[in-house]
Amino acid sequence: LYTSKILGIETSCDDTGCAIIDDSGRVLSDVLHSQNLIHLRNGGIIPDIAQDLHRTYIGPTVSKTLQQACLSMEDISAVAVTLKPGLPLSLAVGMKYAKHLARQYDKPIIPIHHMEAHALVARMEHDIVFPFLVLLISGGHCLLAIVKDVNNIQLLGESRDSAPGEVFDKVARRLKLKNIPEYSKLCGGEAIERAAMKSTDHSMFKLPLPLTDHKDCNFSFNGLKTSVLYHIHKKEKEHNIVADKLIPEVNELCASMLNAITKHLIHRTQRAMEFCQRNKLIPDNNKQFIVSGGVACNNYIYNCLKTLCEETEYSIFRPNPKLCTDNGLMIAWNGLEKWKKGLDITKDYKSLDIEAC
């Protein structure tokens, strides 16, 4: 019996991901090559370096994915690949490779929106039906949306400035957290979460709660970030901190910051829930809330969202951590959802161009 098989390729930022899924939703293989350690050493992602690494690893990653599934390209029904949003230089590598494969083996391509993939992948593990409310929090994004169907997403609000993961990463660098051996290989958000959990005081540092008087679902993190950086500067002066030394209040500051960011996320999510109920955008008898994206790996944030959902009678779902951060499987899954509905499947390869976004 022939079953469709979708190959997914993700290269929007700093992870080269590839996976294969069959039409029953079974994962046949899933491979990820992370550039995290290299960017950690460089103090952030340098787009040219990210592109070079994608170029080096895309071929081997795809080959390994096929090998793990004991399949060859002839067995694949379609190639799903991230079209946007992301770093244009990184996106271009995945798209170029997908086109090369598709041309060589005469396969259709299914272009994928990275954020839609983050939102839909929760349906792979959980029995979630449309419509549902989603909060996507990552290093590049922060948004609230109603997912009405595959290809039909209503944006409720997004960040006016930076994303929460970006703020975690920046503050972790400024705090020199990677000088602590147990944090040296962690991304900023995870290091801050671990440090915060060592503190018993979650409000030693006063930080502003953004946009409290804005009656919308948008976010803003720059004020918080500036305030945290100011506290670091002040403490460094106070304690005469030089070079690689850390401030003694590092755990408390991480805890205050995590608490402030969480409060902002909760505040805006609560507004979105009220908006959805008032306008009957989410049915009262099936209120589903999904949180995804790299920052959703944070258990403190997740537990606070869970408490909110208990109060508002929403069921909460979170993909497992490997599916929350960037990965090829979410692209394959989104490809499968589109494949089943006959959406966006194309052999007009020329129409698929990466634009700056």
Q: CB-wise, 259 or 325, nearer to ligand KG4?
A: 325
- Binding flag, residue 325, ligand KG4 (CB under 6 A): yes
The span from the CA of 46 to the CA of 355, in Å, is 19
Considering only residues 11, 29, 138, 269, which one is a binding residue for ligand KG4 as defined by CB under 6 A?
138
Query: What is the arrangement of strands in the sheet containing 15-22, beginning at the earlier edge strand?
Result: 27-34, 15-22, 5-10, 78-84, 109-113
H or E, element range at 330? helix 328-341
Partner from Zn ion, ligand KG4, none binding residue 61, C-beta < 5-8 Å depending on class? none
Q: CB-wise, 169 or 326, nearer to Zn ion?
A: 326
Partner from ligand KG4, Zn ion, none binding residue 249, C-beta < 5-8 Å depending on class? none
CA-closest candidate to residue 308, choices 265, 257, 351:
265
The DSSP 8-state label assigned to residue 10 in this structure reads: E
- Binding flag, residue 326, Zn ion (CB under 5 A): yes
Partner from ligand KG4, Zn ion, none binding residue 29, C-beta < 5-8 Å depending on class? none
Work out how close the CB of 241 gets to ligand KG4 at its nearest, in angstroms, rounded to a whole number: 24
Partner from ligand KG4, Zn ion, none binding residue 297, C-beta < 5-8 Å depending on class? ligand KG4
Stretch of 132-140, 154-162, 270-278, 309-317 contacting ligand KG4, by CB under 6 A: 132-140
Work out how close the CB of 118 gets to Zn ion at its nearest, in angstroms, rounded to a whole number: 6
**What is the sign of the dihedral through the CA atoms of 193, 194, 196 and 200?**
positive
- Binding flag, residue 188, ligand KG4 (CB under 6 A): yes
The span from the CA of 183 to the CA of 185, in Å, is 6
Q: CB-wise, 78 or 137, nearer to ligand KG4?
A: 137
Q: Is 227 helix (H, G, I), strand (E, B) or coil?
A: helix
Pair 82, 331: CB distance under 8 Å: yes
Bond into 208 cis (ω within 30): no
Q: CB-wise, 111 or 339, nearer to ligand KG4?
A: 111
The span from the CA of 260 to the CA of 248, in Å, is 20
CB atoms within 10 A of CB 287: 18
CA-closest candidate to residue 140, choices 88, 78, 96:
88
Residues with Cβ within 8 Å of residue 77, at least 6 apart in sequence: 4, 5, 6, 107, 108, 339
- Binding flag, residue 189, ligand KG4 (CB under 6 A): yes
- Binding flag, residue 193, ligand KG4 (CB under 6 A): yes
Binding mask 273-302 for ligand KG4 (x = CB under 6 A): --------------------xxx-xx----
Stretch of 133-141, 198-206, 265-273, 309-317 contacting Zn ion, by CB under 5 A: 133-141
Dihedrals phi, psi of 91, to nearest 5 degrees: -55, -40
Binding mask 158-177 for ligand KG4 (x = CB under 6 A): -------x--xx--------
Considering only residues 16, 51, 138, 298, which one is a binding residue for Zn ion as defined by CB under 5 A?
138
Interface with Zn ion by CB under 5 A: which residues?
138, 326
Interface with ligand KG4 by CB under 6 A: which residues?
13, 138-140, 165, 168-169, 187-190, 193, 293-295, 297-298, 325-326
